[in-house]
Structure 1
Amino acid sequence: MDRVTTITRLKGSWLHLSLRFVFWLCSLESILALHTPPEPSHISSASRLSSPPKSGIFEPIQISPAVIPNYSFPVESLPPMYPTYPKIYDPVLTGRCPVNFSAISSIMEKTASDCDQPLASVVGNVICCPQFSSLLHIFQGFYTVNSDKLVLQNAVADDCFQDIVSILASRGANSSIPIICSAKSYNLTGGSCPVKDITSFEKIVNTSKLLEACSTVDPLKECCRPICQPVIMEAALKISRMQSFMNDNKNIVGLSNHVDMLNDCKGVVYSYISRKLTHDSANTAFRILSACKVNKACPLDLKQPSEVIAACQNVAAPSPSCCSSLNTYIAGIQRQMLITNRQAIICAIAFGSMLRKGGVMTNIYELCDVDLEDFSLQGEKNAGCLLRSLPADMVYDNSTGFSITCDLSDNIAAPWPSSSSITSISLCAPEMSLPALPTSQTLGNPGCRGCGVDLLVLILFVFSTLLF
């Protein structure tokens, strides 16, 4: 974040973008060290490519081992980004979970790679935890498929939950997934939901409507024009028996208990869905629903920016002291996690609203050259990565190691809020005002006036389309 604030940075240069991502990956291991304690090395020495990854000018770029520099000494360990998995898995199981885990091996493998030991803490909110949650839903339905139950008994749930974590850890996943994702065996039991058997469930819920809405979830429409989500909520309300309770009690007391019950019942609904769909179809649906949820809020810990407010309260032009204070604050944010482009917009607006509430009326994002990528995890060379808002996975294979797909539109200027009050933020059309598409005449004429403005409009337009 150490920038010369009196000089406007040239944005949009393809070479500049490429170099930034090379620097980002090469320096990421030092950032991961802040999150991951040292462990015995299980590093691959064959996870480099001879040519860089392909990418399009407005397509996501794939961060792969191709950009890792060659090391002079073969005995020197490579960064922890690229572990090899053991050929023989030897998880320590309880022996009390009566499940053939090989039947759901594809979902287990996907979860293990998405929650890889060094990376789980920095991709937990967007990649690891949504996939782990999906695995639990699928396991719950798989375990109960030959019974009349939709949930596990408490004792069995404890044993099976331990086995799931052990198997994932044996495949390279972080053994602290339950802590990272705030998950527990209780999630498999249905908790306080009063309906836990399939016979009662099918009597109460319109299951045809539920499966029609959730069998195929559209990743481009569900988050803005939801179809599956309201049907799941409707089913959860019915089996929780809260709908009639809410109708009879306008002034609800002890609402938190009823919210917990509703969440438990939503878990039962997920279990029913996973019984009826293939594992891959259920996983796809659950991941899209998770993406809708995580992209509605800023996951960063935004502490009160008192020093930034004091330094920037009365500035109207670029100020070294203001920008230095702002950069120092954002540098702390950058140590937290990788976030999506939508989350970055929400975080930028939320932080800007805190500044405006403190009396900073000038758009200091513009004065100090703050981009959306500045709100996500960074490397040492002032290069960051924002993930796309659509569900994403960590990708691993023997020749390329792990890859993370970054959004190349992440160097767009951070949006400054119009007021200090944070109202509901919509990134959906028609609520969202999209920039006009540039005309072919202005794009194709190298000598036209205002072409730089048109190029910025094009970048903004492409970015807005990538959000969906």
Structure 2
Amino acid sequence: MTCVKIVSLLKGSFCHLLLVIALWLCSYQNVVALPLLPKPGQIPSTSELPSSPDSATFQPIEISPTMIPHYPFHGEPLPPMYPSFPKTYDPVLTGRCPVNFSVISSITAKTASDCTQSLSTVVGNVICCPQFNSLLHVFQGFYSNHSDTLVLQNAVADDCFKDIISILASRGANSSLSSMCSVKSSNLTGGSCPVKDISTFEKAVNTSKLLESCSTVDPLKECCRPFCQPAISEAALQISGIKMTLSDNKNIVEVPSEIDTLNDCKGVVYSWIARKLRFEDANTAFRLLSSCKVNKACPLDFKQPSEVINACRNLAAPSPSCCSSLNAYITGIQKQMLITNRQAIICAAVFGYMLQKAGVMTNVYELCDVDLKDFSLQAYGQEGCLLRSLPADLVYDNSTGFSFTCDLNDNIAAPWPSSSSVTSLSLCAPEMSLPALPTSQTLGSSGCHLDGVHFLLSAILIFVSTLLY
């Protein structure tokens, strides 16, 4: 019997539209604790999700201390869901990386926590890999403080990269971060970028403009009305030596090798920014920039939904076989990873376009009660989780293990695509054709409130393992 009762799941037509708008416009919510107590071996089905009343108000949820899970078998080894870290860390270092890693220990500790062995595979796209990349940028800038260059030589980069991986692994992080996040030691070398020394960089780039643009990254504006990202791209272009051609009012790079050079030069630009900012400020800025990129695409792998197409094509009324097939397919999708609320909207559109292209024209999301949360990792029942679009970290607690913040906006019904192309989808308010936001008086009379609430879900490895395998 659960000790938590959710007042409502918000699916009224007016509240639905209003919450979709709110989901696009804001990500800051209140946080409360809701430990997951999974039923071993139980895999959720979207058909089990209850229907929702037309409107509701979220109220704070109080959790009894008795709900906090404790390992009951004293004297036996702790399972991975109750992680126990050594009091001292003894990473195996090469001894050839000329850096005092203790100076950036706050960033390495955050990265180790975000990339913990038990959860890195399901939070890699949203939490772990963005933080790991940020650590490398910060490290590269920190290294340049003691040299006249913004990059590392190949041999030193290889040694330092090995030391970074070893330090993270000694603190409980996944030792396979390099392959999981597609990062190599060469990312610290500047690659094919022709400008790598500080003097040449500062002569070629308007550094005052770059620093002004990226010293403080606005978390609410940057992704839709970017300020720092264009400054980084401009600086990278200036030091790349690449001539851009103008076509259809867009700058286009003609040769793939030039794209690689530009990306390498962006790494050099990141290094210069990290050199100028405090480590924590640089890390925050880089994480915000990565969130803009992460939330532009659906990271899920959609296999050809042949059974869904056959069961749902030419559908005019609710069909048990269609919904059963759809639920079975989405249950497989749920096992892949945790995604953000914005990613879920894109994933719903991508999958919807796949179905439409194959002849499924009926809104099967509505007929089969598919929510946004159904595209992300699930617990039993209705405890699906979508992460916030803004950067978030895993949090470790001695009693409850690792936790992460979920967004209750995931209870919105998945939007069925109405346009002919996924490229037309935009999550930025100025570009969207949506009605004006209701006034406070309208909100009051409708009985629909936007008081957000988040669940702090205890990340229990048994639950994750059950879903993954």
| Same-fold call, TM cutoff 0.5 | yes
Tell me the equivalent position of 1:57: 58
2:116 is aligned with what amino acid?
A: D
Counterparts of 1:169 and 1:394 in 2: how far apart (Å)?
16
Give the RMSD, CA atoms, in angstroms: 3.1
Query: Could you list the per-position Cα deviations for residues 376-414 of structure 1 after superposition, in whole angstroms to 9, with x for gaps in the alignment?
Result: 011233531000000100112334432210001111000
Tell me the equivalent position of 1:241: 241
Where do 1:23-422 residues align within 5 Å? Answer: 25-27=36-38, 57=58, 67-70=67-70, 72-75=72-75, 80-242=80-242, 244=243, 246=245, 255-422=255-422
Where do 1:437-448 residues align within 5 Å? Answer: 437=437
Counterparts of 1:273 and 1:80 in 2: how far apart (Å)?
38
Counterparts of 2:37 and 2:251 in 1: how far apart (Å)?
56
- Judged with a 3 Å threshold, the aligned counterparts in structure 2 of structure 1 residues 434 and 401 are, in CA distance, closer, same or farther, namely farther
1:362 is aligned with what amino acid?
A: T
**TM-score normalized by structure 1?**
0.81
Say which SS state the counterpart of residue 403 (structure 1) adopts: strand
In the TM superposition, what is the alpha-carbon distance from 1:436 to its structure 2 partner? 5.4
**TM-score normalized by structure 2?**
0.81
In the TM superposition, what is the alpha-carbon distance from 1:279 to its structure 2 partner? 0.1
In the TM superposition, what is the alpha-carbon distance from 1:246 to its structure 2 partner? 3.7
Percentage identity across paired residues of the two chains: 72
1:427 is aligned with what amino acid?
A: L
- Judged with a 3 Å threshold, the aligned counterparts in structure 2 of structure 1 residues 209 and 371 are, in CA distance, closer, same or farther, namely same
In the TM superposition, what is the alpha-carbon distance from 1:441 to its structure 2 partner? 6.5
Answer yes or no: is the 8 Å Cα contact 1:64–1:402 preserved in 2.
no
In the TM superposition, what is the alpha-carbon distance from 1:65 to its structure 2 partner? 9.6
Counterparts of 1:130 and 1:78 in 2: how far apart (Å)?
30
Answer yes or no: is the 8 Å Cα contact 1:24–1:384 preserved in 2.
no
Tell me the equivalent position of 1:45: none
Instruction: Tell which has more relative contact order, 1 or 2 (C-alpha 8 A, sep 6+).
Output: 2
- Judged with a 3 Å threshold, the aligned counterparts in structure 2 of structure 1 residues 125 and 222 are, in CA distance, closer, same or farther, namely same
**Does 1:11 find its partner at 2:9?**
yes
Say which SS state the counterpart of residue 418 (structure 1) adopts: coil
1:299 is aligned with what amino acid?
A: P
Counterparts of 1:367 and 1:419 in 2: how far apart (Å)?
19
- Judged with a 3 Å threshold, the aligned counterparts in structure 2 of structure 1 residues 367 and 87 are, in CA distance, closer, same or farther, namely same
Answer yes or no: is the 8 Å Cα contact 1:334–1:375 preserved in 2.
yes
Query: Could you list the per-position Cα deviations for residues 8-38 of structure 1 after superposition, in whole angstroms to 9, with x for gaps in the alignment?
Result: xx7349xxxxxxx999832398799xxxxxx
Counterparts of 1:344 and 1:383 in 2: how far apart (Å)?
16
Query: Could you list the per-position Cα deviations for residues 322-349 of structure 1 after superposition, in whole angstroms to 9, with x for gaps in the alignment?
Result: 0011111111110100000000000001
